[in-house]
Structure 1
Amino acid sequence: MVPEADSQVGNRFPRSRRLLKSSEFQAVFAAAEQRVSHRYYLLLARTTMGPGPRLGLVVARKNIRLATRRNRIKRVARETFRQQAPGLGSVDVLFLPRRGMDVLPPDRQTRLLREAWRTLAKALEGDPRPCSPEP
């Protein structure tokens, strides 16, 4: 293997960290224990007995019309989740972007999502503060 490729192995987003089945998504929608709501996104979370945090992406064409923008939002969400995952514990999370998120610059999207994962981690720890980050 090429040395650069070896250094990238730890940066992957493996299948074990993703929600893949419809039933997994439905379980989170039906029994979300935590909710982080913002003008540009919604996070729904449900604690599990699994080995670690998993992410499901629900990026509706209705809210984000262009495929390139949907893909960029998903890429930013996966990357920020991967970076913040160790602080989340065993939880299944759904990320739903809302209208307008696609027009934000990528660095603003990244900042918003990093803040969202931190807010979710605090909520999962039982922090009594509200689960809505400042806009």
Structure 2
Amino acid sequence: MPATPEKVRSVIRQYADAWARNDRALLISLFAEDAKWIDPAGTPAFVGHAGVAAFWDFAHQETARELSPRVHRIVACGNEGILDFTMQVRVPGANQGLDLHVIDRFVLDDDGKIALACAYWDEASASAPPGMDFFAPNLDDAYDKS
């Protein structure tokens, strides 16, 4: 049975909570075994739990970065949903930061797991927090080079 809008909203809230609480295991558990995560749209997908874990590890860089989502809005229709939020990235000790306004689209499978997550953002979506230097991660580093 397809996921309901209520289930979609719940999963999206848990997704944001996982980032806010630095809970890698929770985030991975929300995704289907064969899920695709595209961040940003137009780049190669991270596939499955290993791909989700790889993206998480890239984003956190072994806790060298602090990430905090500020949720603006969640919209759910059928088994799909949108998360409109700003990801606040801080690099402690370096006085660097990034505020990235993102629109994430999610599609849930019949088991209520994320089958597809796709993030929409561009250079105009990014800004430096007041009083900090702009931090620009190299997304190429997120992909396995082996």
TM-score bracket for this pair, using the shorter chain length = under 0.3
Identify the structure with the greater helix proportion: 1
Higher relative contact order (CA 8 A, sep 6+): 1
TM-score (norm 1): 0.26
